[in-house]
Structure 1
Amino acid sequence: MKHGLSLRRQLLLWLLLPQLVLWLGGGILTYRVALNYAEKGLDQSLTQSVRSLARQIKPMGSGLLVDFPKAAQAILEEDPVDRVSYMVSSPPGKFLLGNQKIAAPPSGSALGQLVFYRMEIDAKPMRAVALDVAYGDADNPQILRVQLAKSYIARERIAKELVSDLFAPLLLLGLALSVLVYAGIRRGMAPLTRLERQLKQRSAADLTPLEFTTAPTEVHALVDAINRLLAAVRRSMSQEKRFIDDAAHQLRTPLAGLINQTELALDESDAALIKARLHKVHAGAQRSARLVNQLLALARSGSEVPMAQVDLAQLAQDIARELSPRAVAMKVDLGYEGQAHATMHGSATLLREAVMNLIDNALRYGVSSQAGSEPTVTVSVHQEAAHLVLAVEDNGLGLNQAQREHVFERFWRGSDLPGGCGLGLAIVQEIAQRHGGQVSVTQAQPQGLRVSLQF
């Protein structure tokens, strides 16, 4: 069987993976912000330098006096890797002095306004600034352009230093957060671990409910679901055991009788006596078959079955119609009265079993000892307030109060007539309870027995 990742590993993956992505994204964003601020620092440095250089160039008559001592030039050119390039031109673009030919600003410049732009010198990206200054007199105005350019090496170095200084604390914070996440997951998974340990320590026969009090709501829901499953299994096993016990107990006597009758028949030589023995064997076999069918119906009434909308009135009419030939043969007036249609939520199979048992009981016992009147069995379905009631009523002698108290006990029989096994009304009660209903037995008027199913 192929196993996927455990729940703990999945939680760690989905909690730590976004953290890693955010950590990397934060590092990249930090680097970009550091570059931006380093560029602002570079612009401030270029601003101070270009204004200082512009102040060193003074107009003198119709010419210019450049007071640019070698010390200042040495400072500008002291770093061979990240040296500052400068150029003075007048008019703008006509080289006067400097150490590089610096390109003009792409958008031009206004007098006294600083213009920052990017350019390249020897295929190296540079940050440049241009400042135009007016000099001369009214008759001969002149414009002087001072330009400085510096590479991005310093900016990138500052950004990398800033990111490296920030990355170490971020890494430590990430590790600390990972440890906290793992500890939190482990603590959160502890109830499931305890639940797993409880289940592993149980024997296969232990179906008692699980006890879980100190756990999150989700685990309580899981425990409730497991307990419901255990209850269903326990109920199913109980029904199976009851079925086996009942079958073993109830079939022992008829099977012993069958064996006894067949042994006697084998010892007989008279054909008439042998035939009589065979009739008894046949009757015993029929009773055993009915007992087995009733036991199976009782077991089925407690099993899980699908529920759907059922027309109870139509179902009762169909069953009464099916049993009409038997009623006619017994000279019993079997009829239906009540609503033509009445729907409910239930199992058609189980409801059919219940109605069949009620009508069979009425035909078998309710009309067996009439006092002169025509035997009748009436099936009805009608609405009583918020309940749907199915009733089967006969006009026989009925049962007294003491007998009615035992009618739902399994294997209890209120008549000595052959053919029954005392399970019919027990099955009806099981089916009624499965549908959230109840069954009652009352004395009919003026005589007889009325069995009602109320849903």
Structure 2
Amino acid sequence: MKPPGARHSLSLKRLLLLWLLLPQLVLWLVGGALTYRIALQYAEKGVDQSLTQSVLSLARQVKPVGSGLLIDFPRAAQDIIEQDPKDRVSYMVSSPPGSFLLGNGKLPPPQLNTIPTTGETLLYNVSMDGKPMRVALLDINYGEPASPQRMRVQVAKSLAVQQRIAAGLVTDILTPLLLLGILLSVLVYAGITRGLRPLKRLQAQLGDRRESSLSALAPIELTQAPQEVHALAGAVNHLLSAVRRSLGQEKRFLNDAAHQLRTPLAGLISQTELALAETDPQALRERLTKVLSGAQRSAHLVHQLLSLARNEADVTLQPLDAAALAREVAREWTPRALSAGVDLGYEGEESLLLDGEKLLLREALSNLLDNALLYAGPGSVVTLRVARQGPVAVIEVEDNGPGLSPDDLLHVFERFWRASALPGGCGLGLAIVHEIARRHGGSATALPVQPRGLLIRLSLPLKN
């Protein structure tokens, strides 16, 4: 059953048969027409030779004697000229030309603009009783020099014999070709049917995968198939891989969200129940403060989870100035840094162009600064730096806080991993940064700073 709005179109099998057999039929018809034309030419040559011999033979039967003519035209000679009963042959001897002396029919002269040459055979076409005829004409001079005479001998033959010969030649030539064409068509049909079997198997494999589970998206296998079908199967496998990866990300996101939201929501419910049962105003205020803190942490977690899900989708890269964006983000976080007692500064290029998604890069820089301000501590120095290193743009956030141990540096970009018990974090900030860098064709690395501190580096390709 066709989907709604689908246009009627030929199947691949019918299309191949059409393009393979239709040219064969056209070539057979064109070949037949050309063969008929060539056969007519050769048949016409045969008719012309026969007429030329007949007109010369008839001319020899009429012998000039002085100023007269001796006609020696026995019945045997007449039978030779009229030997084919199916072929209409007419002959005529006239002297002077046009004055009937001998023959079985009156034959017309050539066209007015055609002047016969004495002693040479002239061939021309005429129509008699509505039928085409081929005529051979020969003029002969005779008589005394003082009184010259001219005799005209004409022999005409119907062109039906020419057409009959041509039709016979075409039939004899095209009949074997037609049989060979039928055999070739059968072989082409069998070859196309066999060649399309891998597509049938591919269709069957795809038709069996109607479930939406990840197991239904496993790669398809075609071990014995032409190279073109392998390429098609590879493209389908690439698409299935993308769908499987997307479903896996969605499933992982739902699992992460359910797991991470379960604990803070349970805490909110517990603190709310205790607050409702509390009678002391000071104790009630403490309970509500914990409820507010838990709600803020839950809101931050939801924001990070949504940001992570958005970063895993496809992004559209456009030219942007990374240095200008970094300065803009640093200005936005300056009030937060002042309130936390942290010295926030910017170093690096005035302008640095790269292909990126502005909102995602802003999110990455905000997460880096948020982590640095949260964990570096009061009195520390945080530096946002943008530099060019060959074909790569390097964006760094460095702080002189407590830093991380070598073992912790190995896990810093893992989801929900936290190296500190300080409130406010949820273990997704640096995972988001790593995902954004990967989406931009770059990388994120964490390096220790001597004597103490942490440096997070984003390496992104510059604009081509």
TM-score category by the smaller chain?
Answer: over 0.9
Question: Which residue of the partner structure matches residue 156 of structure 1?
Answer: 163
Give the one of 116, 119, 122 matched to 2:123: 116
* 3-state DSSP of counterpart to 2:205: helix
Q: How many residues align?
A: 450
Percent of paired sites with the same residue: 60
Distance 1:346 1:214, change over 3 A: farther
Question: Which residue of the partner structure matches residue 91 of structure 1?
Answer: 96
The amino acid of 2:397's aligned partner reads V
> How far is the alpha carbon of 1:453 from its aligned partner?
0.8
> How far is the alpha carbon of 1:274 from its aligned partner?
3.0
Does the 8 A contact of 1:133 with 1:144 survive in 2? Answer: yes
The normalised TM-score by structure 2 is 0.91
Does the 8 A contact of 1:89 with 1:97 survive in 2? Answer: yes
Partners of 2:122 and 2:330 in 1: CA distance: 104
Question: Which residue of the partner structure matches residue 340 of structure 1?
Answer: 350
Question: Which residue of the partner structure matches residue 384 of structure 1?
Answer: 389
Question: Which residue of the partner structure matches residue 273 of structure 1?
Answer: 283
The amino acid of 1:282's aligned partner reads L
Partners of 1:354 and 1:115 in 2: CA distance: 101
Question: Which residue of the partner structure matches residue 214 of structure 1?
Answer: 224
Give the one of 225, 238, 256 matched to 1:246: 256
> How far is the alpha carbon of 1:135 from its aligned partner?
2.3
The normalised TM-score by structure 1 is 0.92
Question: Which residue of the partner structure matches residue 138 of structure 1?
Answer: 145
The amino acid of 2:260's aligned partner reads Q
Give the one of 166, 171, 179 matched to 2:186: 179
Does the 8 A contact of 1:76 with 1:83 survive in 2? Answer: no
The amino acid of 1:98's aligned partner reads G
The amino acid of 2:116's aligned partner reads S
> How far is the alpha carbon of 1:74 from its aligned partner?
4.4
Deviates more, 1:156-165 or 1:179-188: 156-165
* 3-state DSSP of counterpart to 1:412: coil
> How far is the alpha carbon of 1:445 from its aligned partner?
4.2
Does the 8 A contact of 2:384 with 2:396 survive in 1? Answer: yes
Deviates more, 1:44-53 or 1:186-195: 186-195
The amino acid of 2:308's aligned partner reads L
Question: Which residue of the partner structure matches residue 262 of structure 1?
Answer: 272
Question: Which residue of the partner structure matches residue 414 of structure 1?
Answer: 419
* Cα deviation 1:329-354 (Å, max 9, x = unaligned): 33433332212222223333332322
The amino acid of 1:212's aligned partner reads L
* Cα deviation 1:116-141 (Å, max 9, x = unaligned): 11111122211112122232343333
Give the one of 375, 385, 388 matched to 1:365: 375
Question: Which residue of the partner structure matches residue 201 of structure 2?
Answer: 194
* 3-state DSSP of counterpart to 1:17: helix
Question: Which residue of the partner structure matches residue 43 of structure 1?
Answer: 48
The amino acid of 1:146's aligned partner reads V
* 3-state DSSP of counterpart to 1:323: helix
Question: Which residue of the partner structure matches residue 335 of structure 2?
Answer: 325
After superposition, residues 274-289 of structure 1 pair within 5 angstroms as 274-289=284-299
Q: Which segments of 5 or more consecutive residues in structure 2 lack a partner in the other structure?
A: none
Distance 1:18 1:210, change over 3 A: same
Provide the alpha-carbon RMSD of the alignment: 2.1
The amino acid of 1:61's aligned partner reads G
After superposition, residues 437-452 of structure 1 pair within 5 angstroms as 437-452=442-457
Partners of 1:311 and 1:360 in 2: CA distance: 22
Give the one of 26, 29, 32 matched to 1:27: 32
Distance 1:233 1:404, change over 3 A: same
Deviates more, 1:407-416 or 1:333-342: 333-342
Does the 8 A contact of 1:408 with 1:429 survive in 2? Answer: yes
The amino acid of 2:286's aligned partner reads A
> How far is the alpha carbon of 1:179 from its aligned partner?
0.9
* Cα deviation 1:58-88 (Å, max 9, x = unaligned): 1101011121123333454566763211122
Distance 1:311 1:115, change over 3 A: farther
Question: Which residue of the partner structure matches residue 132 of structure 2?
Answer: 125
Asked if 1:307 is matched to 2:317, the reply is yes
* 3-state DSSP of counterpart to 2:217: coil
Partners of 2:337 and 2:148 in 1: CA distance: 133
* Cα deviation 1:30-75 (Å, max 9, x = unaligned): 2222222222211111111111111111110101112112333345
Partners of 1:198 and 1:62 in 2: CA distance: 102
Question: Which residue of the partner structure matches residue 398 of structure 2?
Answer: 393
Does the 8 A contact of 2:396 with 2:455 survive in 1? Answer: yes
* 3-state DSSP of counterpart to 2:194: helix
Asked if 1:70 is matched to 2:70, the reply is no
Deviates more, 1:423-432 or 1:79-88: 79-88
> How far is the alpha carbon of 1:369 from its aligned partner?
4.8
* 3-state DSSP of counterpart to 1:211: coil
Distance 1:92 1:349, change over 3 A: farther
* Cα deviation 1:406-453 (Å, max 9, x = unaligned): 211211112222111011111112222233322111223453211101
